Amino acid sequence: MKTILLKHSVLATCAALFLVAPASLTFAQTTDLTVNTFDDASSINACDVEWGTGEATWDGTQGNPAGACLVTVVFSSSSDTPVADYFCLPGDNPWWFQTPSIDLSLYASVDFDIMYDNTSDIDIPHFNDLSTWDTTMTNKNGSKVMQSWAGSGYLSGSLPGLDICVCGSYNQMAPSIASTNIPAAAASGWTHVSIPINPAEANIGSVNGIVIHKWINQQWGIANDAQARFWIDNIVFKGNQLPPHLPAVSVPTNKATPGLNVFASTDNQIYDRQSAVLRQTNGLSWVGHATPSHPVSYSFTIVGYPNSTNCEAWMFLCPNPVAMDNAPDWNETNCAIVFLQKNAAGATGHFQYKVGESMGQNMYSGAGNYTAAPGTGGGTLPESGNLAAVNATTGVYGTWTLKFTSDTAGQLIAPDGHSASFTFPSYNAPQFAESNPGGFYIYLGMQANNADAYNHAVVYSNFAVSNTAAPYSENFLADTVLDTTNVWNTSAASGPAGMLIVPAADSTALWLEWTLPASGFSLQTSPTLSGGSFAWTSPTIGPVIGMVGVGQQLVSTSELPIGNAAFFRLIKRNFTQLQILLPGETAAPNTPTGKTGTPTPVSWGDPDYGSENVTVNAVDSNWNIVNNVSDTISLTCSDDYAFLPLDAAMVNGTVTFSGNNAVWFSTEGSQTITATDMTSGSIPAATSSPVMVDP
């Protein structure tokens, strides 16, 4: 048995200071950072609406001093997002960093001033709690706001107050740092709001602003628009005068489970869907293909599951969607779902569907008006879409199968062989036929539903679609990485896509975990403490995943030290330079050049027609990747006629220009590529090794 030992985090450039005089550590204390004071009309250029029905405009008549952003919130049946407005650093937006990104874990709070417009259609209490809306409410035009059948409580489940999110990080609007009511005092004048920052929240280490967001549950209950208006001013990230929180590595207790690991990795979002979405979108529907002698089946095998009776593992079948939604079971009009949950008696699997119900899921379980038995509506809603449930006495593990023997007949089959037959209403089955170019989307994933599933994974070993026009199958145990370029997309509503393949060869690999904040820190391991700095190596095979309150990284079997002891530590690196890797070159940290190998010659006759993939890393002085960098990188080339890719932002300190966004050479001979950091002027440009371009 290998002995696991931990060494506490050290800051690479200040280790002696940490050990000798920790009380003098003031270098991580931060001063206030002003995001926007709206003192002039140009300030609104860093603010706008991401989506939804709201507006964000500059108002020079309000504010202290004069100038504020007027936020108009439009409650309408046409959108469940009445406001999703971003407020970024000058010149920035959620998709573009002009200034260096901000590590929000180093700040104490997000502060702003707010004043409510009392000429709005609704007052502050009704804004904060939409469940108080009823059929007596009217807007300023005298029109009834709610449908006659949508009485008090119909909008229950809507987001209370305002959701304050960060932007820039890994998502346009995530994660959420707090939900807060608009203070009642805002109706009487300017009121100050301070939102404390939890430094241990994942994925707040690289942001450039905030997003103010609100969401409506069952917005179709609104008959006539209602508006609310308020002003925002003086948005500031308040500095933190406390010493930094140092991350600490925990003794690993979780062995890896080989297969497709899908983690519940989003803080404060128990209903966040984490999923892998098949890129193949045609030839997957059972409609028009299933017969008793040629049944169509959709199956998946589960080999890992959180110790939770709340967590769901699921598969979504979504015909002809509007888009690749994060939550097609809610957003899309038509969707069928197979989901299962562990319980005291084993596990229960369900097959449900909905049609004609966008932005909702009442039909699945027979809620709301959908109370008629399945198949009794004759094509006229409402009727329940709850078609089948089956119990597995052996639990969640094993293969679950949804089998169709016709457009309308099938079975849901549990791993222990128990099954439940169902009839899919003939008048609704055509809704699940594929159209061109709509296609047919299949999602495989999980949802936490409760905090007891946080930081744990549903693990799939196999997935298959059989006897359709274009069947598909995959053995995840035969994979080493999840192919997100050709085979799968990853999708998460509010958090990082916590999905990766653990190879079968890594059945003894370990999940290493450390406390947050840990922005800029990297994991290292060593077989000894006596070998100096070069005895330490950095695991690179497994990605770093920001979990709920912790960071986590898979340390592959091949990366564990040889012998019966393993030491782990975290080290913080300083971003000082860029590294360019071309095909044929491999990163080699702690060596004079930082890489090995020579670039593979490029030929216009090769399958890529003279294009070159280029990887650019943010590295320290010893060529180790610095994983908290999201700077934007621009490429130039010694070939004056080369086709150059669009600028792209780093993710976790690296970016690869490939495919249509690769470098395409036009001139033969020896060529070089130069990378420039467009975000930080203190980082010198880097030039690649020469690559030979042959005709």
Tokens of 94: 């959620």
Question: 10 Å Cβ neighbour count for 641?
Answer: 9
Q: Tokens 């404060």 label which residue?
A: 268
Residue 452, phi then psi, degrees to nearest 5 = -70, -10
In DSSP notation, 327-349 reads -HHHHSSSEEEEEEEEETTEEEE
What distance in Å separates the CA atoms of residue 286 and residue 289, rounded to the nearest whole number? 5
What distance in Å separates the CA atoms of residue 162 and residue 487, rounded to the nearest whole number? 38
Q: Tokens 């925002």 label which residue?
A: 232
What distance in Å separates the CA atoms of residue 248 and residue 517, rounded to the nearest whole number? 10
Tokens of 342: 């562990």
In DSSP notation, 668-694 reads -EEE-EEEEESS-TTSPPEEPPPEEEE
Contact 5, 566 (CB under 8 A): yes
One-letter amino acid identity for 326? Answer: N
Q: What angle do CA 577, 581, 585 make, to 5 degrees?
A: 130
Residues in Cβ contact with 551 at an 8 Å cutoff, skipping those fewer than 6 apart = 202, 247, 513, 514, 515, 516, 518, 521, 544, 545
User: What domains sit in the chain, N to C, each tagged with a CATH number?
Assistant: 3-26+247-252+508-572 (no CATH), 33-239 (2.60.120.260), 259-504 (2.60.120), 577-694 (2.60.40.10)
For 387, what's the count of Cα atoms within 13 Å in the CB-facing half-sphere?
25
Contact 266, 499 (CB under 8 A): no
Tokens of 544: 């770093």
The distance of Cα 226 from the centroid of its chain, to the nearest Å, equals: 32
Q: Tokens 């299933």 label which residue?
A: 290
**DSSP for residue 589:** T
662 to each of 523, 605, 653, how far by Cα in Å? 31, 16, 19
Tokens of 596: 């090995």
The per-residue pLDDT for range 207-255, each reduced to its tens digit, is 889 999 999 988 989 999 999 999 999 999 999 876 667 788 887 777 8
What distance in Å separates the CA atoms of residue 106 and residue 102, rounded to the nearest whole number? 9
Exposed e or buried b for every residue in 81-90, given b needs 16+ CB within 10 A? Answer: bbbbbbbbbe
251 to each of 3, 6, 265, how far by Cα in Å? 10, 7, 20
- Mean pLDDT in each 10-residue stretch from start to end of the chain (695 residues)? 43 26 43 93 90 91 91 94 92 75 88 97 96 95 95 91 83 82 96 92 85 92 96 94 76 86 83 90 96 98 94 95 85 95 94 92 90 89 94 96 98 97 96 88 94 92 97 96 87 68 90 85 85 75 83 88 86 91 92 93 70 92 85 93 90 86 91 93 94 87
Question: 10 Å Cβ neighbour count for 270?
Answer: 17
Rg (CA), the chain: 27
Contact 629, 616 (CB under 8 A): no
pTM over 0.85: no
Residues in Cβ contact with 485 at an 8 Å cutoff, skipping those fewer than 6 apart = 659
Residues in Cβ contact with 548 at an 8 Å cutoff, skipping those fewer than 6 apart = 202, 264, 265, 266, 267, 451, 454, 455
**DSSP for residue 564:** S
Considering only CA atoms, which of 520, 534, 548 is closest in space to residue 625?
520
What pLDDT score was predicted for residue 501?
92
What distance in Å separates the CA atoms of residue 434 and residue 319, rounded to the nearest whole number? 6
Q: Which helix H or strand E contains 566, and what residues bound it?
A: strand 565-572
What distance in Å separates the CA atoms of residue 507 and residue 174, rounded to the nearest whole number? 33
DSSP helix, strand, coil percent of the chain (3-state; round to 5): 10, 40, 50
- Residue 164, SS3? strand
Q: Where are the alpha helices (DSSP H) in 184-293?
A: none
Where residue 189 falls (left for φ over 0; alpha for ψ -120 to 50; beta otherwise) is: left
Q: Dihedral of the CA atoms 520, 524, 528, 532 (nearest 10)?
A: -50
- Residue 616, SS3? strand
**DSSP for residue 543:** P
The per-residue pLDDT for range 616-625, each reduced to its tens digit, is 999 999 898 8
What distance in Å separates the CA atoms of residue 694 and residue 405, rounded to the nearest whole number? 57
In DSSP notation, 478-540 reads G-SS--TTTTEEEEESSS---EEEE-GGGTT-EEEEEES--TTEEEEEES-SSS-GGG-B---
